Chain A
């Protein structure tokens, strides 16, 4: 590390804002590296934009920790999977495998939905039968659902493989058979008669996890429940690969979900490397072009100078956001195109500033001396002039970083973001477009905006700390 760079770093860390900024920056980088390592490359298209993957999450659920502030306890989503011990019960000519999912139900509301997912079933003679039974704290039990795996197709040879490519998922709450089973249960156990249709409208789970309140509704029944999933197999070599029972809550995870049930914390984490990438690439390239053109323009002078100055005058004066919106709309919503546009309109401001600095440096003794010694033009420009502008250039680079991040976020907010990967701006836009402001989906709107602000702040703080480096006059008074 050169002495100059060391000095800049020392200056940077000597102020409060510099320390805070540096700490934030390191945190941002660590999170981004973690995300790049942990996330698949095609996360946006393959995972984030694939509704199937998020089907078992509750929709627009606030974060779980909101329960701490509520007198009424909301249900957290519970996922039970068939890993570990299963009871095996031999029956005449068959084998019954029983999975028991126990839970202590303490929430003040019924589940928002329940679902069963079956994957990787293979059989030889007769199709297996899978049943779901709920055993309630009051000793009663309901046989909710029965799945008979589809039979052999004509010409198909055993073993018959089912649900390997696409898992079989049934939303028990919306299933007519479940409704009729629950309707029968209510009739027999509580002498309450509700038609299947009414039950589907009211919510099947209200009845499964509650008792009739006598006014046509249901009260939540708290206590220990056991959800029992049986698989009846007719051959030794038959198997059921994976079973999943999900009880959808109305709160979810650290940051809640959106209207598709997507875990917002997953998408927001992905936004870290994207935002840093946009900011850093744009500012580095912009600063590079601006510095080179500024030095060339100031040192060479003449027609080159006039040409560069006219071009940057014009580009620097074009109002950025409207043109950015226009270009993103016409040329395409692609992250790289957006970055390219930001660079194309970003460099001229710096060119003009650097040129005025170079004009001063050029008339100084150092340049005069090296010219007399016979140094080439390019050597003078980049070995003697550039180092004198370096601290300023560095500060400008940091200062221009948040502008790029904010510009991308603004574009995304207008619905012109790159659809192939989620960014903070896009998540916020989705929240806004879904009326989040009017119905109060604050967990969908505040975190992405806050992350944008924190990231932009990081660079602003660093730039603030660097100001005395750039403008020694300010140092004199402080």
Chain B
């Protein structure tokens, strides 16, 4: 079972990636003293609350001070603040790995919960809507255009597309978004400035859905514009590379129709690198989503990340950095599985 071994090795590496980025985040937090400050402020907050409630029952000030300082010591050792940060490391890694993401300091979910997992779960679907739609659209356009270009290498269309895809690579996602807002929202007033749904949300489910689509149009367009060019170009190059292999010439010599050569001999072989591109595109649009959601005020994970930075909400920042890595690693793993399915050389 070679496939299983390959998968196991890749899985282990990707798990290593996950642990490495988690360690990176936690070590940076610990070594810069941010972690101590975070926990310190949690302890202080709890001690303050405790003092208030105890003051109701204990009248003697000395007695009160004694009880409070006892409790404070208890809390400090409970959170491990009396130990150096690196001894807390295994606990923290375990806590985050088991998806115990803690609670936010200032941010809240729309329902009012401060648990990070509540906040994230609320935002996750919104990001998925945005990123997946954009990915599907750019993949379809990119594949179609890329294959078209590869059959007409050197034509005027091919050359102008090369420039366009270069431009697309050089376009910062967020700037595309800003341009679209300036032109289509500000000047022509065709689309909303941002958000996911109109302020009094329509009640009718159909109207609701179309309202979301109307709001999603610009952010999706932004993500597509920023990625479709490099897509088409990568597909073109890969198809072109494969088209010069000897077996393609042989297939043509056999007299196979051009369509069959393209589908069975070229695209089939060029598929794994194209898939890599899809997944790398997914990873990039994850980053792009942070910026696009910020520009369009789209209530997804990217916008949450931005808000967390602005509010200095460390727990949310750590949790989201972790979540982004998990999503990325999962995508890579799916890719590995697809590789095995597509490339017989890996399977046997």
Contacts and interface: CB of A to CB of B under 8 A. Distances in A.
Interface of A: 16-17, 310, 313-315, 317-323, 325-327, 329-331, 402, 406, 409-410, 413-416, 428, 432, 437-438, 440, 442, 445-446, 449, 452-453, 456-457, 460-461, 464, 471, 473-474, 476-478
B14 A317 contact: yes
B223 to A, nearest CB: 14
Contacts of B286: 319, 321-322
Given A322-B325, A437-B181, A330 B28 contact: yes
Contact of B305 (A16, A317, A322, A478): A322
Given A17-B162, A453-B170, A322 B153 contact: no
A477 B21 contact: no
Interface string B227-249: 00000000001001100100000
Interface string B114-156: 0000000000000000000000000000000000000001100
Contacts of B14: 317
B170 A325 contact: no
Contact of A329 (B13, B24, B172, B317): B317
27 contacts: A17-B162, A310-B16, A313-B13, A313-B17, A315-B20, A317-B17, A318-B24, A321-B287, A325-B290, A327-B28, A330-B34, A413-B174, A414-B290, A414-B306, A415-B310, A428-B175, A432-B178, A432-B295, A449-B172, A453-B171, A456-B169, A456-B171, A461-B166, A471-B237, A471-B241, A477-B240, A478-B153
A317 B166 contact: no
Contacts of A453: 167, 170-172, 175
The list of the 4 closest CB pairs from A to B, nearest first, reads A321-B287, A456-B170, A449-B175, A322-B324
Interface of B: 13-14, 16-17, 20-21, 24-25, 28-29, 32, 34, 153-154, 159, 162-163, 166-167, 169-175, 178-179, 181-182, 185-187, 193, 237, 240-241, 244, 283, 286-287, 290-291, 294-295, 305-306, 309-310, 317-318, 320-321, 324-325, 328-329, 332
B32 A320 contact: no
A437 B309 contact: no
A310 B13 contact: yes
Contacts of B13: 310, 313-314, 317
A229 to B, nearest CB: 43
A330 B29 contact: yes
A468 B132 CA distance: 34
Contacts of B163: 17, 461
Contacts of A322: 286-287, 290, 305, 320-321, 324-325
Contacts of B17: 313-314, 317-318
Nearest to B290: A321
Nearest to A16: B159
Given A329-B317, A437-B182, A320 B287 contact: yes
Contact of A402 (B170, B181, B237): B170
